[in-house]
Amino acid sequence: MEEWMTEQGTTIWEKLGASAGIWAVVWLGLHWIILRSAHADPTGADGDFVRAMLSERMAWEWATLLRIVGGLTIIWFMGSLSGRLRLAEGEPGRLASIANSVGVVWGAIWLLSAFFNSASILTATIYNNPGGARLLGALGRESALVLTPSIAYVMTMAVAFVALRFNGFPKWYGYLTGALNLVVLVLAL
């Protein structure tokens, strides 16, 4: 039986960091559910977008909050994952650094998306600029969606390489992550 990475003295914060990935999925999934029912479409006319967005403003506010919380929990999870990958890989931990860097950028992109979303609401309400609100709404929606597949591909590839090459994780986990990597690639095409 292979030895897997185990470290005694793991703190509660490390365990919570490991579960932060699941929480990120929950928060961003709720965000997706909320905005699926929203009628404001940034591809439409400026005035139509602003009227629809303001009529469902609280849904947009909740989506903004969930993007912020989701982005922060991604960053927290990446800190925990990076530490585990580095223990499995050993120093200098190049693959762990790649996975961590890409994951932190992904969390930051969700935070940027939340900024665009919030700016869209403020531009419509305070500055009375429908064109600017629609542009910011489009940037908020598309910034995370366009970049997520490529980021997920690079991150799962780095994790799969560490899991398959080093004995820090079970082999089945490495193969499962490699299969997920191929699924992400096919879906991104």
Q: How far apart, in Å, are the Cα atoms of 72 and each of 26, 78, 79, 124, 179? A: 13, 10, 11, 26, 27
pTM of this prediction?
0.86
User: pLDDT at position 84, please?
Assistant: 85
User: pLDDT at position 15, please?
Assistant: 75
Residue 6 clears pLDDT 60, i.e. is over it: no
The predicted-structure confidence for 88-139, as pLDDT tens digits, reads as follows: 888 888 999 999 999 999 999 999 999 999 999 999 999 999 999 999 999 9
Kindly state the tokens that stand for 107. Answer: 């969390």
Q: Provide mean pLDDT across the span 29-56.
A: 94
Domain ranges (residues) in the chain: 12-188
Bigger pLDDT: 16 vs 178: 178
- Average pLDDT taken over every residue of the chain: 90
Which residues contact residue 174 at a Cβ distance below 8 angstroms, ignoring those fewer than 6 apart? 160, 162, 163, 164
- 7 band by pLDDT with thresholds 50, 70 and 90: low
Kindly state the tokens that stand for 44. Answer: 């439409």
The predicted-structure confidence for 66-87, as pLDDT tens digits, reads as follows: 999 999 999 999 998 888 888 8
Which residues contact residue 92 at a Cβ distance below 8 angstroms, ignoring those fewer than 6 apart? none
Kindly state the tokens that stand for 152. Answer: 């997920």
Side-chain half-sphere exposure of 135, counting CA atoms within 13 A:
5
Residues above pLDDT 90, as percent of the chain: 62
User: pLDDT at position 175, please?
Assistant: 94
